[in-house]
Amino acid sequence: MSSPQPVHAWDEPEGIAPRGTLVLLPGRGEHGGVYERFGRRIAADGYRVRALPDPSPTPETVTDQAAKLLRDETLPGPRVLAGSDTGALYAAWLAARGTPGLDALILAGLPTAPHALPATPDWEAELDQRTACPTHRGKLASDDAFRRGALTYTDPADLPALEGISVPVLALHGADDTVSPLPAAGLAYRALPGVELVSLAGTRHDALNDVTHRTAAATIVLFLERLRLSPDLAPIAVREGLV
């Protein structure tokens, strides 16, 4: 069996009681460090974040690591699995098979069909499909561990069977995603009763790392806070009508 891959970790601030754990599976070409901005923001609100490598090259190794973290009772609950791009496919697969210790699922930029760039993809074209955020574009461009050109193909056999998922699900999707267009994602999520699908305006494929990254993180924190109270996800912030 392959050796465990490095895990990037962000913990709650000193003196703050931990409120739960988020295990994150990145997408094609990424690694856990790509999500530093996201991880720090979620951790600042008291949730521990553990970001694994891109599972695509070694799916058995990385999904086993994710399952082990979800079973780890030294990590505070609720324990939530999140995935971006193909990481969302593997996260959905783990949820559909009833992985122990999993309390909820967060899917971002779920691929819904095979997607191909040209045989020799243009780096600027790939960046444009991924994100419009100048900070994140700069991070990807200067990151030697990021695999350029990985955003090329998803085998239809790898698309998840959402029907088997029984835990609460939050789905985040860019309204301007051209890799996995929002209407196709909406059709895929119809197979999952009770899913909360949130579209992010002006956002491309990297829904957790685009121009709306603060809104994406805030939406996730609100979901986690509701989950802490009840798996029924009763509303906390309620817009009231004025009499």
Tell me: the pLDDT tens digits for 106-160?
999 998 876 554 444 688 888 999 999 999 999 999 998 888 888 876 654 555 5
Task: Mark 209-218 as b/e (b = at least 16 C-beta within 10 Å).
Answer: bbbbbebbbe
pLDDT (average), residues 47-76: 95
Of the two residues 164 and 18, the one the predictor is more confident about is 18
- pTM tops 0.75, yes or no: yes
Average pLDDT of every residue of the chain: 90
- Phi and psi angles of residue 172, each rounded to the nearest 5 degrees, phi first: -115, 135
Other Cβ atoms less than 10 A from the Cβ of 45: the count is 18
Query: What tokens does 72 get?
Result: 């780890």
Element (H, E) at 108: strand 104-108
